[in-house]
Amino acid sequence: MTGWYARSAAGLAAFARAMLCIWIAGASAGCLKTVSYVDSITPAATYGDLTRPAARVPVRLTVDWQCEGVHWTVQSRERKEFLSDVLLRSGVASPTSDASPGRIPEIHVVINNVPGTERPDDGSPKATGFTLGVVGCAAHDAYLLTGVLRLPGKSEVTRSYKGEIITTIGRKAAPEGLAPIDTGKAVDAVVERLFLCFLRDLQREGLLPAK
């Protein structure tokens, strides 16, 4: 498991949990495979849900990437570059390097990667692992995105969103209704979806221009 997912703070945490699962399963099984899925616990948004205004508003974008509440500087910088690209592709706003507070709108994004918990239909927590003698387990990693919009002369607006990456290992059944995704692209996919949710809601509430 290589690339951004394995190198990042979030990837390392998820990687460690997945490796524990693999180690347990490996004691009783020979050939194992891992498959990842992105679950948007918050109703998902796409670029098609956004309206491109005639003129993009300049926005100062800041990003704080955390792993279980601990700030990671390098990953924060990399995620800022990634979300800047998402912002440009959305057509809603343009990231600017203007660092003067209070002069232009500011979007501050906090992304916190924490362990996820599988919950069956009855809502109770459930551990994954050995089932009826068939080896298989799943690593659940939750991503909590908190977006803050600061408009000059107005009170800041805060919205929160949640998504998960579910990585199945061995003979664990695929989550119902979710399409598989390359593990190396899973973090990008969940972060992008959650950020688009934030932009969509800001437009719907008239906080960012939609015309």
**Per-residue pLDDT reduced to its tens digit, 169-184:** 877 788 888 999 988 8
pLDDT band at 17 (very low <50, low <70, confident <90, very high): low
Written as six digits, the tokens of 103 are: 């002069």
Residue 28 lies in a domain: yes
Residue 21 lies in a domain: yes
**Per-residue pLDDT reduced to its tens digit, 43-68:** 889 999 999 999 899 999 999 999 99
On whether the CB atoms of residues 194 and 10 are closer than 8 A, the answer is no
> What's the domain count of the chain?
1
Residue 51 lies in a domain: yes
Residue 210 lies in a domain: no
> CA of 46: how far to CAs of 49, 75, 81, 89, 200, in Å?
5, 24, 19, 11, 9
| pTM score above 0.75 | yes
Q: Mean pLDDT across the chain, nearest whole number?
A: 80
Pairing of strands 57-67, 106-115: parallel
Q: Which residue has the higher pLDDT, 166 or 119?
A: 166
Residue 211 lies in a domain: no
Structural domain harbouring 174? 4-204
b/e per residue, 52-89, with b = 16+ CB within 10 A? eeeebeebbbbbbbbbeeeebeebbebbbebbbebbee
Q: What's the CATH number where 170 sits? A: 3.30.160.150
Residue 155 lies in a domain: yes
Residue 209 lies in a domain: no
